[in-house]
Amino acid sequence: MSILHTVNKSTYERDTLEACVRLAAKGGSVLLIEDGVYSAMSGGNKSSVIENAKDLSFYVLGPDIKARGLGEDRLIDGIKVVDYKGFVELTVSNDSVTAWL
């Protein structure tokens, strides 16, 4: 069983990502979309939420980081950028999707 988790809220405004990381099983995938992409930036005081979650794979939706003026060079190490096609592929390659709000 593998789950794709999507998170669409900024970790600086809501605790959605923290809940997702706490409740996602080892080996799961987390895709940050919409305002969730702010959580993928390095150098902030909440960057550790992702940096400490070593058992999960993190992805970020490219069009959403571009929309918000965030450079790929500022992402936390290890986060992969995907486009809409990549989003679909992640959906297909996992058994189910959990959308955290």
Partner 1 sequence: MSDAKKFMYINRKAPYGTIYAWESLEVVLIGAAFDQEVSLAFVDDGVYQLMKGQDTTEVGIKNFSPTYAALGDYDVNKIYIEKESLEARGLTLDDLQHLVWEDEDEDWAEKDSIRVVTSAELAEIFEQQDITLSF
Residue 13 within binding range of partner 1, rule CB under 8 A: yes
Q: Which position among 2, 42, 48, 93 is part of the footprint of partner 1 (CB under 8 A)?
A: 42
Residue 9 within binding range of partner 1, rule CB under 8 A: yes
Residue 100 within binding range of partner 1, rule CB under 8 A: no
Question: What gap in Å lies between CA 98 and CA 78, rounded to an integer?
Answer: 22
Q: Which position among 26, 52, 54, 69 is part of the footprint of partner 1 (CB under 8 A)?
A: 69
Q: Which position among 5, 6, 35, 60 is part of the footprint of partner 1 (CB under 8 A)?
A: 35
Question: What gap in Å lies between CA 84 and CA 87, rounded to an integer?
Answer: 5
Tell me the torsion sign for CA atoms 99, 22, 81, 36.
Answer: positive
Phi/psi of residue 51, nearest 5 degrees: -60, -30
Residues that bind partner 1 (CB under 8 A): 8-10, 12-13, 34-35, 38, 41-47, 62-64, 66-71, 74
